[in-house]
Amino acid sequence: MSFNHAHWQQRLDTLRAAHGVPGASLAVLDGGDVHELASGVLHRGTGVEVTTDSVFLSGSLAKTYTATVVLNLVDAGALDLDTPIVKLLPEFSTPDPAATETITVRQLLSHTGGLTCDFTYDSGRGDDCLARYVEAAAGVALDCPPGTALSYSSVGYAVLGRVIEVVTGKTWDQAVKDLLFAPLGLEHSMTLPEEALRFRVAMSHLGEEPTPVWDLMPRSAGPYGRVIISAGDVARFAKMHLDGGVAADGTRVLSADAVALMQRRVVDSPDKWTVSADGWGLGWTLYDWNGVAGFGHDGSSVAQHSFLRVVPHAGVAVVLLTNGGDFDRLYHELFSELLGELADVEMPEPFAPPANPPAVDVTPLVGTYVREGVITTISQDDDGKARIRYEFVDGMKDLSPPLEAELVPVTETVFAACGESFGANPVPVVFSTLADGSPCVYIGMRATPKTS
């Protein structure tokens, strides 16, 4: 069955409007062809329309580009996945000297190195920004000992970006251009804000209004959070991974072995809801839709959000880029229809507390959980119900006032944070343990150990 462009354009227009998303770009890889669609406006203040060549901020989808460059260097024999980072970057360190010696490239790719996520540091606009970032991160506490748990880490990907620089002798920005964008012919992909001005650029929206600034991230955030992209270019990037590492013109970007290795599960995810992750490979989020395997990634930057889902058995990839509104509902409804029709995928329902929550004794969960930049406090009210206080501290203290909500049980270890300060949709709060049995809580895929 050929791709019905008119039908999917109508569904994109309808669902985008229904969920208050100002603008969206959609690309679908099906039957070997990339189909591109656009809907809405880039900026409600100017009324400039989204077109298929418009570019959006990718957020964490950028991590998959960094991971692909790392595997390209492994293919070239310039890098080994099991080399300790400190052997490549003598300036790399953590407050735990023993851990510093053991954290490897492979662990950082799979978010099992223990490095934290939310270290906000502006190291400037110079070509030395990643080197300065790695040095500044030396005193940042680990979320957990290396190899003991999955803990989503943007810091780890900034370190990988610096590894790429040292191995190639180029800036991360230039290495991504030379090793990915150029051989794949990605003419609407870039890493620096000034490069985006050649194109129609999406503006983030909070509520009805455009945000006062376009991009809050420093240059050092590139390897974990800033590739500026069109939806069609993301689909072409995904097609290379589906085609065994070969670009459309026959250029080999990755070996078939490297492509397969990136999709091989390294670790299961205790939180299967925040980014729909069943597990993690080397760079990719891995999905299991009732036995149908897939891979992809999500990203968020200010109020722009990106979604990529790839279904290898069907040769299908779907990309959605948005700039505000209830993007999660748009993603779920649109992808449920697309992946259902094109790849026989049945996506799970969005995360929500059950109509009749189970009775759970939350007493063992009460306490304080601490990671860099965040203190999470779980308490119990007089009725035995659990509550959460999520407080930003240290370098993140000005990010937001503390977030507070009731915790509604989903299972004995999974709860839904339901409260306006956490947002319109319930947030998963997952209690788990590290490899040594010590308790932790996951919020936003970050492992936060219990301290008291």
Catalytic residue among 60, 110, 220, 306: 60
Q: What is the DSSP string of 162-195?
A: HHHHHHHSS-HHHHHIIIIIHHHT-TTEESSHHH
Is residue 91 packed enough to be buried (19+ CB in 10 Å), middle (13-18) or exposed (0-12)?
exposed
Respond yes or no: is residue 60 known to be catalytic.
yes
Task: Say how many C-beta atoms besides its own lie within 10 A of residue 260's C-beta.
Answer: 14
d(CA 234, CA 4): 20
**Do the Cβ atoms of 245 and 252 come closer than 8 Å?**
yes
* Contact between 77 and 98 (Cβ < 8 Å): no
Torsion, CA 240, CA 246, CA 248, CA 249, rounded to 10: 160
Contacts 24+ apart (CB under 8 A), 435-441: 435/145, 435/147, 435/148, 435/149, 436/145, 436/148, 439/365, 440/144, 440/149, 440/369, 441/365, 441/369, 441/376, 441/378
Q: Return the active site residues.
A: 60
